[in-house]
Amino acid sequence: MRNTKTVIFLMSFFLLWVACSQKSHTEILEQEDIASIPDVVIRNFSDSSMNASVKNWILKADKAEVYEKQSKTVLSNLEVSLFKNNNVEGILISKWGFITSGGKNISARTNVVYKSKDGFQLYTASLFWNNSKKYLHTPDFVKIIQPNGDIITGYGLEANQNFSEISILHKVKGKLHKHD
């Protein structure tokens, strides 16, 4: 009987010690909340990317939340003008997205629309601009409406900013309109 009480006491002491030495769920949640607090919040944000005097893109957003440790800026209601030879090639609009500080790559998310200067319209859930390679890509479902009204759908896309080169990667379908 005495050994049983000793064992129960030692087990209780050990469990109490382990419980006190670990962080509580509240402490962990508080640390995660602190990590998700932006370093800077900017209203009516704008940014641009240039090589020498040549514009790559100009971005405008209702709000930007800058996270310096992650080298990321999260954007709300963004609009990006993509350039080639200082001429606008297309405009990208989305509900939210982010840019990375280093490469100036852009990720657009939720209700993404891209319109090229030649009248191509792209609708998708996400779209990524690779600044160094100068191309758009997404793994998601895409719908492209061509200037003549033809519609192409599929999954995955790689394209340059003026849509003169487009690759849809999977399950490609099309709907052609009668042309006179």
Domain residue limits at 19: 2-34
CATH classification at residue 123: 2.60.450.10
Check whether residue 93 and residue 57 sit in a common domain: yes
- pLDDT top residue among 6 and 62: 62
pLDDT of the residue at 12 = 52
Check whether residue 25 and residue 110 sit in a common domain: no
Nearest to 162 by CA among 123, 122, 102, 117: 117
What share of residues in the chain are helix, strand, coil (percent, to 5)?
A: 15, 60, 25
Least confident of 19-33, 38-52, 115-129, 166-180: 19-33
Q: Is residue 115 part of a domain?
A: yes
Nearest to 157 by CA among 133, 118, 129: 129
Give me the amino acid identity at 128.
Answer: F
Nearest to 115 by CA among 135, 97, 92: 92
pTM of the model: 0.71
Mean pLDDT estimate for the chain: 77
